[in-house]
Amino acid sequence: MINAIKERIKAAKKEIPADLVLKNAKIVNVFSGTIQEKDVAVHNGVIVGAGRDYHGIIETDLKGKIVVPGLIDGHLHIESSMLTPSNLAAALLLHGTTTVVADPHEIANVMGMEGIRFMLRDSTSIPFDFFFMAPSCVPATPLETSGATLNAADLSELKDHPRVLGLAEMMNFQGVLMGDEQAIKKIDLFSDMILDGHCPSLSGPELQAYLTTGIRSDHETTVLSEAVEKLENGMMLMIREGSTVKNLEELLPLVNAGNARRCCFVSDDLHGEDIQQNGHLDNTLKKAVKLGLDPVTAVQFVTLNPAEYFGLKDRGAVAPGYCADIVVLDDLESFNVDSVYKDGILVKDSEKLVNFPGQNNVTSVQPCPLNMGPLTTQDLAIPYPGGQARIIETVPGQILTRLINEEPKSENGFIVSDVESDVLKICVAERHEASGRIGMGLVRGFGLKQGALASSVAHDSHNVIAVGVGDEEIVAAVEAVRIMGGGLALASGNKILVSVPLEIAGLMSTKPISDLVRQLKSVKDAAFQLGCLAEEPFMALSFLALPVIPELRLTDRGLVDVNQFKSVPLFLDEG
Amino acid sequence: MINAIKERIKAAKKEIPADLVLKNAKIVNVFSGTIQEKDVAVHNGVIVGAGRDYHGIIETDLKGKIVVPGLIDGHLHIESSMLTPSNLAAALLLHGTTTVVADPHEIANVMGMEGIRFMLRDSTSIPFDFFFMAPSCVPATPLETSGATLNAADLSELKDHPRVLGLAEMMNFQGVLMGDEQAIKKIDLFSDMILDGHCPSLSGPELQAYLTTGIRSDHETTVLSEAVEKLENGMMLMIREGSTVKNLEELLPLVNAGNARRCCFVSDDLHGEDIQQNGHLDNTLKKAVKLGLDPVTAVQFVTLNPAEYFGLKDRGAVAPGYCADIVVLDDLESFNVDSVYKDGILVKDSEKLVNFPGQNNVTSVQPCPLNMGPLTTQDLAIPYPGGQARIIETVPGQILTRLINEEPKSENGFIVSDVESDVLKICVAERHEASGRIGMGLVRGFGLKQGALASSVAHDSHNVIAVGVGDEEIVAAVEAVRIMGGGLALASGNKILVSVPLEIAGLMSTKPISDLVRQLKSVKDAAFQLGCLAEEPFMALSFLALPVIPELRLTDRGLVDVNQFKSVPLFLDEG
C-alpha cells in the first residue's frame, strides 16, 4: 500500500503520467452540488486529481460528457434477478452501477451459511463491489419449513468479513417490538455496525421503539406521510424502485434541500428482464429528474448518500483519493450510460461490457439438490368433506391476495381443478428435509386451461410450489423441477413443454443475463399459451407461499391466514 | 446490552415509565431541518422517543425552550486549555459541548505514548466523551529537541482503542508531498480509519496529491477561495473559531444548501480564560447565526455533520436510538445554554455543573519532572562578535514573527538586553534529555522594563523558553519553572513574583478552570506590571519556539529561519 500511495502522490503532482486521463468531462461534484468542466486523472485505481493538463498513459476525450461517481444500490436481493452475483454484476455495470449492498436472505433460507459463503465467494475477483448484510430473519416465519435457521451465533462468523457491513433488514419488527430474544441478540451482535430496517406502515411509539435498537433505515415506505415520519425519526429513507414495487413517485414530494442527504434510491428486488429492458439506478435517476428532482441531488441519492450511510468512505464521489468508479453519461436527463470505469479500468465502452472476466466464471457452489422424494398423484389427493373451501384469489399486479370462501368442484369425493370458474389446485412440497410434507390449496387468478407450472422459487422458504389443472400435470412439473435440482417447469399432459434450470439453490441460474432472459421469456410465453392470466406467471406463483403478506397463503404446512397469522384448514367446516 | 435494548423498547412503547421526560421542548431536527414541538423521552441513557404523553420517573417542563443534540467539537488540543481532560470536560459541559475529538500532540511531544495514555486514562469515567486521533507529527520538525519521537510502529498500539478514531492532523504536508516514508507509513496504518488533514494554503495539484492519501479534512483554511477549493475536492471543511485564530467570518459566505453538510465548526486551540468568558461552540453558533447562517444549519455544523464525518453513529441527533446527549437552549439567537444532559443525566442545571465527579479526580499521571540541570548566568552569555544580529520581532495579535537585522547592545564584549530599544535576551533550554543545550536569541516586542518570564509551554517541543532583562532574572524564572516540574514563572531581580505550576508534562494544571484562570490572570497582570506589551505574554512567548511559522524562531538548537526552513546563526557575520 505504501508504494501505491507514493505513486498516486507523484501522479497527482504530474511528476509521472497518470494511468488514465478523462479529458473534457463535466463532473458532477457531490460535495459542492455543482457541475465542473475538468479532466479527471486516475492512477492505481484511484482518482488522483480533477483539473487540467494531466498526461495519461491512456487519454480519453469525453467531449463534454457528464461524469458521475459509480452508482451504489444500498439494498438489493441478488437472488431476485435469478443471476449469480458475478452475472448480475455484468448486467448492472452496463447501467453504471459499481457497488451493491446485498441481503442474501433467499439463498440463506435454502442453504444457510453455506449459501451466504457462496455469495461472498462468487462476488470476488470481479470489477464490481458487492457488500453484504447478514440476513436477520431466516426463516422468515415459523409457519413454513426452510432449509436453515440462522441464529445470532451463526451470524457471528460474518461480523469480521471485510465485505459484511452489518445486519440486513430486520423484517421481524413485531418480534423486535415484543423483545424477541433472537431478534434482539442479532441486533446486539451487530450494534457497532449498520442495522437495516424493514417496517412497512410502522408509526408512532412503535416506530420509535423499533428505532431505539439502533436500526437506521427503511425501504418499505409506501406513503408520503410515513416517509416524513421515518425520516424525521432518523431513518435513512431508502426510496425503492424495484421491478414490482415502485415508490418513487409517491415519496419524491418529501425531498427538499434540508433533508435530501437522508434519502437514497434502492431497488430491493430486480428481475433480469427488467434490467435488460429498463436498466437499474440509471432508470430511477431518469424518472426522478423527470418528476422534478434536481439532477445533482438525484446523483447524490445513489452515490454520496448511500456511501455515507454505510460508512463506505472510499467511494461516492469523483474526487482525489476516491476509488475510480466513474460513470460517463450522455446527459443528466436521459441518464444514458456512455461508459463505465471500475477502479480505473474501462468495464463498459460505448457499446458493450469489456474487461469483464468470462461470463462462466461461477465459483463452484456446493451442489444442493432438492432434498425431496418423487411426487405422485396420490400426494395431491384432497378428499372433499363438503361445504366451502378457503380459496386464495390473486390480485392482478399486486403480491397481496384475497381470501374467498366458495364451494369447490369435486369428483368422486375428491377436489379437482375447475377450469370454468378458474379455481385450480395448488401445492407446496417441502424440499429441504425430505419430509414428504405437502400443503394443498386452491387458487383463483391463474386462468390455466390446461397444464401446470412448478417452481423452486417460493418466498421465503423456497419449497417447490406448483399450480395446475390435472394432477398428472402438476406431478410432471414438480418432478421436472426436482430432477433439474431446482428451476421452473411447465407441463402439459405429462410432457414438459419448457423448463429453466436454477441450479444454484433452486434460485439462481448459472447463465448470463441474455440467456436467462431468453429462457424466462420462453417459459412465460408457454404459460400464456396454456391460458395463464397472470402477467408474470412464475413470480405470481412464487409469492403465494409468502406467509407475511395478507390475506391467504400456502406453505408446506398448509394454508396461512396472514391477517390472523395462523394456520387454517382448507375447508371451513374443518375449522 | 440485550436487556438494555429490551428496556428501551418497553419505555418507547410507554409500557414502563421512561427514566426522564423533557416536556414541551422545541426540538431542532437535524434530519428534516425543522423545529418540532414535542416531548423527549430518555431511558437507559438513550433517547427512546420524541412525541407526546410519555410518563417519566423524572419529568421536566422545558416550557418551550429549544432542544439540540449535545455539541461536538471535531478538532481540539486539550493541552491548549492547560486543563486536564476531565477539568476541561467540566468547563465545556457548561457550554453544551458533550463530545470532543482531540489530538493530544502537545503532551505526546513531551511524554510520547505515556502522555497519550494519560489523556485516555484521565478522560474515562466522566460524563463527557473524549475521542482521540493519533498524533501524526511528533516531533513537528527536526530542528528542535522533543521528548519523544512517535513513528508508525509506536502509533499502532492506538489503532484498536475504542476511543481512537484515526490519524490526527497530518501537519507534515510537505513530507507527504515528497513521499516521506514515516508520514506515508502512518497514513497507511490508519487508512481504514479517519485521516485528518492540516494544509494551510495548499492548492491545485499539490492539494489533490495530499488528498490522494485519503486525508479528508482541513481546519487551517483562512481564505474563502481556499475553502471553496478544499470543499470541492472532498475535504470536510472544519471552520475554526479558536481563542487565537478565528476563520468563521471569512469562510461563512461559502456555505449554501448544496454544501452545508460538508462543513463543521472546530476550535483547535482554546484557552481557559476564553472558555470562561466566551464559551465554546455555543459562542460560535451565536456568531454564525448573527452573521446570517440559518440556525438549524448552524446546529448541524456541530452535531450531525461532525458525527457523520467521524462515523460516530450514536450521536449528533435528538432521535430514538441516539444517546441522550441533550442541550437545552434559551433560544437560537443567544444560544444561551440553559441545561445539559449527558447520556440522559443532568450535568448542568440552569446555574451550575451537577452530577460531575469531584474536580480533583485527576488520574495518576506518571510524574515527568523536567529533565534538565540548573541554569546559570554563564549559560546565557552571548559573546558579541560585532555587526548585526538576527532579531525576532513579534507582531501584535498574530503568531507570525518578523526577522529584522540590527546592531544589538553589548557590554564588555557580551550582548545585553536593551530596554530602550526593546531588544531582550531570549533563551530556549532543552528539558527532555538533560543535554544542557540552550538556544540564545534576541526579541523585540515584549517591552519588559525589568524582570523575566519563563514557561515550559513552548510549541511544539515544549522546552523551557524565557525572555528577560537581566540574566539573573532569566535564570531565576527558568529555575522556578524547573523546580515546579513545569509551569509559568515571572521573576524580578532574583525574586519570583508569581508562578503557575503545570504539573502534567509542564503543560497542564491539575486545577479546575476557575482556579487556573485566576492564576493565569495574576501572572499576566504581573507581566504587565513589568512593562510587558504583549497582550497575552505567555502565549506570545510559547509560540516563539515554533519553527513552522514564519519568519524567525528560536529552538534549543538555535535560531531557525522558517522561510528557508534551516538553522541560522544569531549574528550575520557568522553566517
For B100-114, write each residue's pLDDT tens digit: 999 999 999 999 999
**Cβ–Cβ gap A209/B36 under 8 Å:** no
pLDDT, position A80: 96
Share of chain B residues as helix, strand and coil, in percent rounded to the nearest 5: 30, 30, 45
Parallel, antiparallel, or unpaired for β A401-406 and A389-394? antiparallel
- Closest-approach residue (CA) in chain B for A180: B6
Burial of A397 (0-12, 13-18, 19+ CB in 10 A): exposed
* Residue A574 pLDDT grade (very low, low, confident, very high; cuts 50, 70, 90): confident
Q: Indicate if the pLDDT at residue A385 is higher than 60.
A: yes
B234: nearest CB among A31, A181, A215: A31
**Cβ–Cβ gap B261/A259 under 8 Å:** no
- Angstrom distance (rounded) from CA A107 to CA A103: 10
Nearest by Cα to A312 from A194, A155, A191: A194
**Cβ–Cβ gap A32/B185 under 8 Å:** no
pLDDT, position A575: 59
Q: Which residues contact B424 (CB under 8 A, 6 or more apart)?
A: B417, B418, B442, B443, B444, B446, B448, B467, B468, B469
**Complex ipTM value:** 0.94
pLDDT digits (tens, 9 = 90+) for B220-272: 999 999 999 999 999 999 999 999 899 999 999 999 999 999 999 999 999 99
Residue of A212, A229, A300, A315 to mutate when probing chain B, most B C-beta within 10 A: A212
Cell numbers that stand for B50 in this block: 420524541
Q: Indicate if the pLDDT at residue A362 is higher than 70.
A: no
Q: DSSP E strands: which ranges in B410-516?
A: 410-411, 414-415, 424-429, 438-444, 452-455, 464-468, 487-492, 495-501
pLDDT digits (tens, 9 = 90+) for A59-79: 999 999 999 999 999 999 999
- Angstrom distance (rounded) from CA B551 to CA A218: 57
**Cβ–Cβ gap B319/A211 under 8 Å:** yes
* Residues in chain B within 8 Å Cβ distance of A209: 8-10, 12-13, 48-49, 320
**Cβ–Cβ gap A213/B5 under 8 Å:** yes
Q: Indicate if the pLDDT at residue A365 is higher than 70.
A: no
Helix (H) or strand (E) holding A138: none
* Residues in chain B within 8 Å Cβ distance of A319: 211, 232-234
- Closest-approach residue (CA) in chain A for B236: A31
Q: Indicate if the pLDDT at residue A360 is higher than 60.
A: no
- Angstrom distance (rounded) from CA A439 to CA A445: 19
Residues in chain B: 575
Helix (H, G, I), strand (E, B) or coil at B539: helix
**Cβ–Cβ gap B259/A50 under 8 Å:** no
Q: DSSP E strands: which ranges in A483-551?
A: 487-492, 495-501
Q: Indicate if the pLDDT at residue B294 is higher than 90.
A: yes
- Angstrom distance (rounded) from CA A427 to CA A419: 17
Burial of B100 (0-12, 13-18, 19+ CB in 10 A): buried
**Cβ–Cβ gap A212/B5 under 8 Å:** yes
**Cβ–Cβ gap A32/B216 under 8 Å:** no
**Cβ–Cβ gap A233/B319 under 8 Å:** yes
Residue B271: count of CB within 10 angstroms of its CB? 22
Find the mean pLDDT for residues B439-459. Answer: 97
Q: Indicate if the pLDDT at residue B42 is higher than 70.
A: yes
Between CA B17 and CA B23, with CA B20 as vertex, the angle to 5 degrees is 100
**Among residues of chain A, what percentage have pLDDT more than 70?**
98
Compare B361 and B292 and report the one with higher pLDDT: B292
Lowest model confidence (mean pLDDT) among A268-277, A449-458, B139-148: B139-148
* Residues in chain B within 8 Å Cβ distance of A257: 33, 257-258
Cell 525574586 sits on residue: B495
* Residue A180 pLDDT grade (very low, low, confident, very high; cuts 50, 70, 90): very high
**Cβ–Cβ gap B12/A49 under 8 Å:** no
B179: nearest CB among A9, A33, A47: A9
* Residue A400 pLDDT grade (very low, low, confident, very high; cuts 50, 70, 90): confident
- Closest-approach residue (CA) in chain A for B8: A212
Q: Indicate if the pLDDT at residue A367 is higher than 70.
A: no
**Cβ–Cβ gap B259/A32 under 8 Å:** yes
B29: nearest CB among A33, A211, A232: A232
B262: nearest CB among A31, A43, A204: A31
pLDDT digits (tens, 9 = 90+) for A16-51: 999 999 999 999 999 999 999 999 999 999 999 999
| Alpha carbon of B188: minimum distance to chain A alpha carbons (Å) | 6
- Angstrom distance (rounded) from CA B562 to CA A241: 59
* Residues in chain B within 8 Å Cβ distance of A33: 256-259
* Amino acid letter, residue B411: E
**Cβ–Cβ gap B177/A13 under 8 Å:** yes
Q: Indicate if the pLDDT at residue B129 is higher than 80.
A: yes
B31: nearest CB among A33, A184, A232: A232
Find the mean pLDDT for residues B293-298. Answer: 98
* Residues in chain A within 8 Å Cβ distance of B176: 9
Residue of B195, B208, B213 to mutate when probing chain A, most A C-beta within 10 A: B208
A233: nearest CB among B176, B206, B320: B320
- Angstrom distance (rounded) from CA A107 to CA A82: 11
* Residues in chain A within 8 Å Cβ distance of B48: 208-209, 212
* Residues in chain B within 8 Å Cβ distance of A205: 12-14, 49, 51
What is the pLDDT of chain B when averaged over all its residues?
A: 95
* Residues in chain A within 8 Å Cβ distance of B205: 12-14, 49, 51
**Most confident range, picked from A189-193, A368-372, A543-547:** A189-193
How many distinct helices (H) and strands (E) make up chain B? 17, 29
Find the mean pLDDT for residues B9-19. Answer: 98
What is the pLDDT of chain A when averaged over all its residues?
A: 95
Cell numbers that stand for B513 in this block: 478552570
B212: nearest CB among A12, A191, A213: A12
**Cβ–Cβ gap A32/B215 under 8 Å:** no
* Residue A454 pLDDT grade (very low, low, confident, very high; cuts 50, 70, 90): very high
pLDDT digits (tens, 9 = 90+) for B330-381: 999 999 999 999 999 999 999 999 999 864 555 566 567 899 999 999 999 9
pLDDT digits (tens, 9 = 90+) for B372-412: 999 999 999 999 999 999 999 999 878 889 999 999 999 99
pLDDT, position A247: 96
pLDDT, position B532: 97
Question: Between A and B, how many residue pairs show a Cβ–Cβ distance under 8 A?
Answer: 192
Burial A11-21 (b: 16+ CB within 10 A, else e): bbbbeebbbbb
Q: By the 8 A CB rule, do B150 and B112 touch?
A: yes
pLDDT, position A366: 57
Share of chain A residues as helix, strand and coil, in percent rounded to the nearest 5: 30, 30, 45
* Amino acid letter, residue A20: L
- Closest-approach residue (CA) in chain A for B296: A258
**Cβ–Cβ gap A234/B34 under 8 Å:** no
B33: nearest CB among A210, A259, A317: A259
**Cβ–Cβ gap B256/A33 under 8 Å:** yes
**Cβ–Cβ gap B320/A46 under 8 Å:** no
Burial of B153 (0-12, 13-18, 19+ CB in 10 A): exposed
* Residues in chain B within 8 Å Cβ distance of A46: 212
| Alpha carbon of A218: minimum distance to chain B alpha carbons (Å) | 15
| Alpha carbon of B257: minimum distance to chain A alpha carbons (Å) | 6
* Residues in chain A within 8 Å Cβ distance of B6: 179, 184
